[in-house]
Amino acid sequence: MEDGEHCDVVYVWVEDSERRSPSGSRSKPVDGEGRLLTAPAGATLRDVLVAAGLSPYTRLTERLNCGGRGLCGTCGVRIEEGPSAEHWHDALAERWGYPRLSCQVRLDGDARVRLAEKVVWGRRKSE
């Protein structure tokens, strides 16, 4: 998969991480599903995605966003495995089924992330 191509699932392995999945093994792409990235501990998920050419934004919000300051709500992703919500917005988003802001997700362990399908802002997770 080339940089800039659409990718639904991203696996992020944090360098020197002790935090892995509950089984103790690392999640990884199966049969071409997703993309594997590595990141330094403490990096924000948004920065890791953007550096790898994977945008958490839509075509419109890629140019009209707050640059990762947690103000615009346009960089939403779904965390399937990984860091728990620490930012107030992410805790509410998780509770009500909305995507979490990738700019507010600090990687302290491995993660499995689904890039949210969105028009401008993320949609609520269907039940």
Angle, vertex CA 8, rays to CA 101 and CA 32, nearest 5: 140
What are the structure tokens assigned to 117, written together? 């399908």
pTM: 0.76
pLDDT (0 to 100) of residue 105: 92
pLDDT surpasses 60 at 21: no
Tell me the mean pLDDT in the region 14-37. Answer: 67
Candidates 3.60.15.10, 3.30.530.20, 3.10.20.30, 3.40.50.10890; CATH matching 9-115: 3.10.20.30
CB 101 within 8 A of CB 89: yes
**pLDDT one-digit tens code per residue, 63-78:** 889 989 988 888 989 8
C-alpha span between 116 and 94 (Å, rounded): 13
